[in-house]
A = this chain, B = another copy of it.
Amino acid sequence: MKINIAESNLERIVIVGGGFAGLMLAKKLAKANYQVVLIDKNNYHQFQPLFYQVAMAGLEPSSIAFPLRKFFQGNANVFIRVTEVTAIEYDKKRLQTPLGIVNYDHLVIATGADTNFFGNATLAAKALPMKSVSEALYLRNRILDDYEKTLSITDPEERQGYIDIVIVGGGPTGVEIAGSLAEMRKYILPKDYPEMDCSEIEIFLIQSGDQLLKGMSDEAAKKALQFLQKLDVKVILNNRVTSFDGELVTMKDGTTIRSRKVIWAAGILGAIFEGFPAAAIGPGNRLVVNKHCQVLGMENVYALGDVALMEGDAKFPEGHPQVAQVAMQMGEYLAGSFKRKQQGKPIVPFVYRDLGSMATIGRNKAVVDFPGFKIQGFFAWLVWLFVHLYQLLGVRNKVMVFINWVWNYVTYDQSLRLMIRPHVPPKEVEKF
């Protein structure tokens, strides 16, 4: 059955994914001469760089998520469908979804990336990913729940497993969570749990390489390490988690850590669906694209952002970094290309402008690499705050995040420490 979308004389561009890339593309095409169909499994765009603050009870999901329908109110040629694409039928120029078949004239894959557990099913079941607000909320509940349970545990070794936290992956996400947790341990937990000796809580950050924040400058990496060590985070470099059974973390060198919580920020995989030819799938499960963002050997099919691996950029032989900047620039680029086509203009290749990168470690502490200069510390932290607030979608969200930040900063408190468990309707009892 075909999905119910109004017939139109316009060519139809189907965009799969409403992340940074897909949303930017749809926004730039909202007034163009195309029918745009935006498909996402959620009815909102989520602002990934602040997931960790949701997990750390500093922000609400609604402050960093924005309803797609609200965004496209008044754009009559944009159609939104909330569903998950399961497969592409390339020869028929159509997609399969639980809602029905979607035909396309042009298809754009902007599905982003999922957590990479390196094929380890036990890890996937036991470790805590953080690639959606739902996962961030789940992590928040797990942390709070474990502290509650700790109070009833008298065996010291068992208790240690409940209070310690292991973070795997020393990229921005791992560094930001570690810093946040360390501050929670310092400022909040002693007040919330006077019955607990919070100095017993240990926070581990495990990084496989020999420095944190791979891809950023040496200064940034060194300063981040220094900030974290000052907050008493145990940073373990040049090691790797090989297994985790839900209670014991084992590392490559054989050492173990007893912890029930392993936050997994150690790698991502392109989030693709069924039906792509093997030749189009590159390392990291990413779709290989040419400099026009077109998927290798697939006409009228494009890929953007984290899921795309662009060939031919000498500066990025392994593809662009999987960050918001690349995604947004590719989205804007492809919208331009579609418009140029209709205007009969030639298509130019995509060029990535590196605007810099940054990570925050806690109150007053961040590291920022701009193309021209590098800063660390308080001023970098202000830059970090400003840039993230600026990029957040929606005035209401900006206001809410700003108030929360000021509030948390002034009171040394993250007051969203609520374990709101999902409601599960009761099963009907069959009568015999």
Contacts and interface: CB of A to CB of B under 8 A. Distances in A.
Given A100-B152, A152-B3, A407-B396, A420 B133 contact: yes
B148 A43 contact: yes
Contact of A428 (B121, B144, B195): B121
Interface in A30-52: 42-44
B138 A423 contact: yes
Given A43-B417, A67-B417, A152 B99 contact: yes
B418 A44 contact: yes
22 contacts: A4-B154, A42-B418, A43-B148, A43-B418, A43-B419, A44-B419, A62-B418, A69-B417, A70-B192, A81-B151, A82-B145, A82-B148, A82-B419, A99-B149, A99-B152, A121-B428, A121-B429, A125-B426, A133-B420, A134-B420, A134-B423, A394-B415
Interface stretch (A72-80, A229-237, A311-319, A327-335): A72-80
Contacts of A126: 425, 428
- Which of A82, A125, A423 is the most central at the interface, judged by chain B CB atoms within 10 Å of its CB? A423
A400 interface: yes
Nearest to A73: B191
Contacts of A423: 132, 134-135, 137-138
Contacts of A191: 73-74
A151 B82 CA distance: 10
Given A43-B144, A394-B415, A420 B137 contact: yes
A69 B192 contact: yes
Contact of A70 (B6, B61, B132, B417): B417
Contacts of A44: 417-420
Contact of A419 (B42, B144, B149, B425): B42
A248 to B, nearest CB: 15
Contacts of A192: 67, 69-70, 73
Contacts of A132: 423
A399 interface: yes
Contacts of A135: 423
A65 interface: yes
Interface string A192-203: 111100000000
A43 B141 CA distance: 10
A62 B416 contact: yes
A221 B290 CA distance: 68
Contacts of A425: 125-126, 138
Contacts of A76: 194
Contacts of A70: 192, 413, 415, 417
Interface string A110-140: 0000000000011011100000111101100
Interface in A379-399: 394, 396, 399
